[in-house]
């Protein structure tokens, strides 16, 4: 049985979800052929205080988004300098050496940008022979550190991500556009909207607004939900707070004008997306990709500056969603979209087809299989 090692971290929900999605696809393509191990690189292979990143990430982004955006901007420029990149790789070498000793494997799949360069540097320096595959989980403009020409394969999600690689002189021989990784269950769901609503106990005859804050319940979800609820809507709200138990409790304490269904973390998101007419989300790549695969029009309520704002441009330019920053603009946009005869929703649904990549996870799986 071949052993695949995933390098990821729980800084945001996307990296672990991408790893699990790839595993599920490989298990369908080649049942019982692989064993998997996921390693949280920030937590297990960086020194204090860097190893606290998985614990502080959500609070940092929620409470001080400007400082998070600033460090992102700085790092994306500093690592253009070869001397800085080389120093970072050498500084991390002993920890990467321990990584490969602690987790022997046949293939390495990296789904976290920060660890591509030190991990491939150590692999080559140690003269280990297993293939190293990078799967980019950022979307329209991935940060510089994703790109390294020493990897065996670089799988990118979008055309802009591919052209950034070309600008950074990544050879075409190792880079290909696959689409972004989403779980196979988003491609397998075959229930109708009516069936999804019956399963979730939702009204089949009204419009459903799905509101999500990611796995960690990030952003002004409460304020946005209250603003939408204040508008005259012939519909119901479905609000998913993720793992943010305080947010869920606050949502449950509110008196709603419209019927509101409040959830914590859910593992049947395809059903919720199938049941909905419109999704309100921040510009995280995972939710955008999932919604696109499900044909679900989007209102983008915001995004982390520099890291996620390019995703907004990508979605809006292709007509798949509307950018409405802030709770009041979101509420106005929902009212406007729902206020006509369905023309606006139909136009958005058509735009979603321009960014949908339902075959992405299978493309990624087949690329990995080339190295088995």
Q: What is the pLDDT of residues 268-293, one digit of tens each?
A: 999 999 999 999 999 999 999 999 99
Confirm if 362 and 29 have CB atoms less than 8 A apart.
Answer: yes
Residues 344 and 364 in one domain: no
pLDDT of residue 216: 67
Residues 118 and 220 in one domain: no
pLDDT of residue 13: 64
Residues 300 and 168 in one domain: no
Domain count, the chain: 2
Beta-carbon count within 10 A of 10 CB: 20
Residues 94 and 225 in one domain: no
Name beta bridge partners: 260: 237
What is the spatial distance between Cα 313 and Cα 298, in angstroms, rounded to a whole number? 13
Residues 203 and 147 in one domain: no
The answer, yes or no, to whether residue 215 has pLDDT greater than 70, is: no
Instruction: For 105-149, write each residue's pLDDT tens digit.
Output: 999 999 999 999 999 999 999 999 999 999 999 999 999 999 999
The answer, yes or no, to whether residue 221 has pLDDT greater than 80, is: yes
CATH code for the domain of 38: 3.40.50.2000
What is the spatial distance between Cα 224 and Cα 355, in angstroms, rounded to a whole number? 26
Q: Domain range spanning residue 349?
A: 189-355
> Quick one: average pLDDT of 163-179?
97
Name beta bridge partners: 261: 238
Residues 225 and 100 in one domain: no
Residues 38 and 176 in one domain: yes
Helix (H) or strand (E) holding 82: helix 82-102
pLDDT of residue 217: 63
pLDDT of residue 12: 75
């Amino acid at each position: 049985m071949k052993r695949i090692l995933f390098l990821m971290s729980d800084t945001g929900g996307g990296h672990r979800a991408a790893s699990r999605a790839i595993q599920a696809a490989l298990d369908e393509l080649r049942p019982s052929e692989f064993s998997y191990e996921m390693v949280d690189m920030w937590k297990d292979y960086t020194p204090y205080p860097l190893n606290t990143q998985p614990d502080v990430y959500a609070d940092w982004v929620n409470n001080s988004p400007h400082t998070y955006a600033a460090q992102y901007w700085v790092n994306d420029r500093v690592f253009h300098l070869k001397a800085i990149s080389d120093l970072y790789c050498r500084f991390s070498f002993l920890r990467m050496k321990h990584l490969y000793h602690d987790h022997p494997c046949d293939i390495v799949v990296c789904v976290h940008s920060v660890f591509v360069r030190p991990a491939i540097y150590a692999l080559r320096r140690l003269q280990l022979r297993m293939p190293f595959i990078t799967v980019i989980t950022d979307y329209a403009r991935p940060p510089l550190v994703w790109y390294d020409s020493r990897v065996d394969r670089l799988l990118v999600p979008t055309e802009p991500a591919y052209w950034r690689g070309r600008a950074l002189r990544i050879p075409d021989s190792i880079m290909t556009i696959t689409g972004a990784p989403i779980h196979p269950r988003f491609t397998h769901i075959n229930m109708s909207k009516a069936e999804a609503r019956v399963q979730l106990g939702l009204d089949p005859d009204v419009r459903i607004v799905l509101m999500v804050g990611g796995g960690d319940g990030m952003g002004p979800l409460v304020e946005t939900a209250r603003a939408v609820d204040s508008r005259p809507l012939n519909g119901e709200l479905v609000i998913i707070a993720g793992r943010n138990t305080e947010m869920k409790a606050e949502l449950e304490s509110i008196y709603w004008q419209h019927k509101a269904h409040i959830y914590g973390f859910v593992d049947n998101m395809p059903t919720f997306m199938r049941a909905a007419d419109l999704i309100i989300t921040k510009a995280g790549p995972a939710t955008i990709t999932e919604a696109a695969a499900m044909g679900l029009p989007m209102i983008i309520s915001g995004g982390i500056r520099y890291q996620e704002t390019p995703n907004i441009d990508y979605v809006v330019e292709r007509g798949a969603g509307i950018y409405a920053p802030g709770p009041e603009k979101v509420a106005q946009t929902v009212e406007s979209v729902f206020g006509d005869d369905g023309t606006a929703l139909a136009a958005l649904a058509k735009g979603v087809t321009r960014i949908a990549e339902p075959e992405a996870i299978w493309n990624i799986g087949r690329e990995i299989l080339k190295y088995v």
